Amino acid sequence: MSTTEILITLAGLYFGYWIVSKLIMDKPKARPAPEYQSAPPPGQNREPEKTEPAWYEILNVPVDATAAEIKFSYRTLMSQYHPDKVANLGDELKAVAERKSKEINVAYEEGMRLRGEHA
């Protein structure tokens, strides 16, 4: 092995090590949580209120989706979450599927109502 090959190999190892160390070691450090938190003002809850997602988020469509897009997304989601699909998998999964399918139905009806279509 010649001197040039040795130098190129050492330079490659050095730069490879440098790149890997930058990728691994230079990640931003997470800031530690404060040791104390001030009390919220009276009448205000500490935890934020849970809000239900909007109909278009449930159906995975944009806000300005057409009635055809809403219907397509509804049919796709119902084919995945219909309770009959998981009837043999147990009561817990069936309950989850029923809850999700009801959520999808409500979102579909709301989206179609806003588009002036009948669900």
For 6-61, the pLDDT digits (tens) are: 888 888 887 777 676 666 665 555 555 555 555 556 666 655 566 778 889 999 99
Does 77 map to a domain?
A: yes
Residue 106's pLDDT is 93
Does 102 map to a domain?
A: yes
Does 87 map to a domain?
A: yes
Per-residue tokens: 112? 């179609």
* Alpha carbon separation from 15 to 7, 20, 23, 112 (Å, rounded): 12, 9, 12, 58
Give the count of domains, the chain.
Answer: 1
Please give the biggest Cα pair distance in the chain.
80
Residue 105's pLDDT is 93
Residue 83 DSSP label: G
Check which CATH number belongs to the domain holding 74 and give it: 1.10.287.110
pLDDT digits 0-9 by tens, 69-104: 999 999 999 988 888 888 788 888 888 889 999 999
Assign 110 a pLDDT band (cuts: 50, 70, 90). Answer: very high
Does 19 map to a domain?
A: no
Per-residue tokens: 73? 């997304």
Place of tokens 């404060």: 34
